[in-house]
Chain A
């Protein structure tokens, strides 16, 4: 399909003289320049907190991610140090990328003990697609998407996180837990 450019645009005499339009453009850019320049100086003197430029010096400065942000999935750890997970395997099934591997452990009939728990719980972040399906599938509020997205490694094998690395205290996840309750309540699970 061919495009035809209309090169016979009628311009006014003012536009054709070109110079006023150039000055208009330069006025805009130089205004931006001075605005940002004078935003920089108080920032470096320390009198002003913002420097008027939104760009973030990434590793030194970090932005707060919104609570809906899906970072790497983590396992919730109860106050007594045990994972909230019951090793039902629903997240394993829900995972579209097959990055979760669970080997369940269960008690031998003792009283006052957890009935089921995961002996092995591995998530391979090299495969994970951060879809959040595991969080949605979990019936026990045990797996949550955190706001951590800095999981680059020098070796692919290091991307395989074990249960000990995944466990995160429930207290740190409280906001996300409330968010998921609100979120998934809408569909009446």
Chain B
């Protein structure tokens, strides 16, 4: 009992350390540095401690200090309570989705079967979408409570865009569910131990549609009409400063990690290495004993999983710094007229193929 609780606590701490402690701050640096390299620039390198810049990594500390010490501004006529609470509503769902995301399989450590997932829900995939769509409220309330026209426009765009693309997202994963026959993310991950069962081979169209829809859900370029700097100042967080703005920012980066994790589990073989089953890896490290070999396997799997997540983050950044922003009507057209029929056709074709194979 106590051991189970302790294990769960360790897993929660690990997830928090990885998302809030590692990815969210480091991605602010990666974003600047990667865009710089793509555009033949050098990027952030001015913050230094005793003349030592560490490739600009100290900008993370500088940014954090700046956000902590900035004035926490609430505009005149704004709804104080909602204005304060909305960044929290935006950030919490981004963190919550990680509760059902498995970052490894299950391992026999010290005679206990340890599953590397905080909460292995039967409806894991549904839980992810249910929680992720809650974040919309944060953005809409943020825009409304700011008493600013730009913010309101941004939040209206957020609402319409999120609703449009959630339809596509939901219909796309139906294809995945039909193929794997389970909503448990751990099950979907375990099936993909076979390389040819990876989602990207079974659902290639679904992969691209899910990627598009999830970038649109995260409101990043090319779907960043809700915050469009050149049109709406900064969209729904125009009136935010200091740590509240930082929370919106953090929510965006954590959502990037979440998208990467979900895509890895659904389409890119979760924590498995191609053509290397867990049993083979276990037999390689047999000389370490049961616990030792399982521990090594666990470390390899977690490493592989986060490497794949990093690949997806890299891909999202490349997309963000390559493409121009869609016009608002183009976003709606893409969502309703192209992606929605395509995802329906995808379900149909998947169903026909499954029927034919049976």
Asked if B40 contacts A30 (CB within 8 A), the reply is: no
CB distance from B259 to the nearest CB of A (A): 17
Interface size in chain A (residues, C-beta < 8 A): 17
Is B41 close to A, CB under 8 A?
Answer: yes
With beta carbons under 8 angstroms apart, the residue of A19, A32, A44 that contacts B37 is A32
How many angstroms from the CA of A153 to the CA of B37 in the assembled complex? Answer: 34
Chain B at the A interface: SS class: helix
Is A97 close to B, CB under 8 A?
Answer: no
Asked if A33 contacts B42 (CB within 8 A), the reply is: no
* Chain A residues whose CB sits within 8 angstroms of the CB of B37 once the complex forms: 32-33, 36-37, 40, 53
* Chain A residues whose CB sits within 8 angstroms of the CB of B38 once the complex forms: 29-30, 32-33, 36
* Chain B residues whose CB sits within 8 angstroms of the CB of A33 once the complex forms: 34, 37-38, 318
Asked if A53 contacts B42 (CB within 8 A), the reply is: yes
Is B6 close to A, CB under 8 A?
Answer: no
Is A111 close to B, CB under 8 A?
Answer: no
* Chain B residues whose CB sits within 8 angstroms of the CB of A127 once the complex forms: none
| Stretch with Cβ within 8 A of A (4 or more), from B20-28, B230-238, B247-255, B319-327 | B319-327
Asked if A53 contacts B40 (CB within 8 A), the reply is: yes
* Chain A residues whose CB sits within 8 angstroms of the CB of B110 once the complex forms: none
Asked if B45 contacts A57 (CB within 8 A), the reply is: yes
Is B208 close to A, CB under 8 A?
Answer: yes
How many angstroms from the CA of A40 to the CA of B42 in the assembled complex? Answer: 9
* Chain A residues whose CB sits within 8 angstroms of the CB of B323 once the complex forms: 22, 25
How many angstroms from the CA of A32 to the CA of B41 in the assembled complex? Answer: 11
How many angstroms from the CA of A19 to the CA of B39 in the assembled complex? Answer: 22
The residue in chain A whose Cβ has the minimal distance to the Cβ of B39 is A32
Asked if A25 contacts B40 (CB within 8 A), the reply is: no
* Chain A residues whose CB sits within 8 angstroms of the CB of B318 once the complex forms: 26, 29-30, 33
* Chain A residues whose CB sits within 8 angstroms of the CB of B208 once the complex forms: 19
How many angstroms from the CA of A22 to the CA of B319 in the assembled complex? Answer: 9
Is A107 close to B, CB under 8 A?
Answer: no
CB distance from B128 to the nearest CB of A (A): 26
Write out, one digit per residue, whether chain B residues 183-227 have a CB within 8 A of any chain A CB (1) or not (0): 000000000000000000000000010000000000000000000
* Chain A residues whose CB sits within 8 angstroms of the CB of B45 once the complex forms: 57
Write out, one digit per residue, whether chain A residues 6-32 have a CB within 8 A of any chain B CB (1) or not (0): 000000000000010010011011101
CB distance from B121 to the nearest CB of A (A): 34
The residue in chain B whose Cβ has the minimal distance to the Cβ of A28 is B322
Known contacts A19-B208, A33-B34; A26/B40 CB under 8 A = no
Asked if A29 contacts B321 (CB within 8 A), the reply is: yes
* Chain A residues whose CB sits within 8 angstroms of the CB of B40 once the complex forms: 32, 36, 53-55
10 extra A-B contacts, CB within 8 A, seeds A29-B321, A32-B38: A25-B322, A29-B318, A32-B40, A33-B38, A33-B318, A36-B38, A44-B55, A53-B42, A55-B40, A57-B45
Sample (9) of A-B pairs whose CB atoms are under 8 Å apart: A19-B208, A22-B323, A26-B322, A32-B38, A32-B39, A33-B34, A33-B318, A36-B37, A53-B40
* Residues of chain A whose beta carbon lies under 8 Å from any beta carbon of chain B: 19, 22, 25-26, 28-30, 32-33, 36-37, 40, 44, 53-55, 57
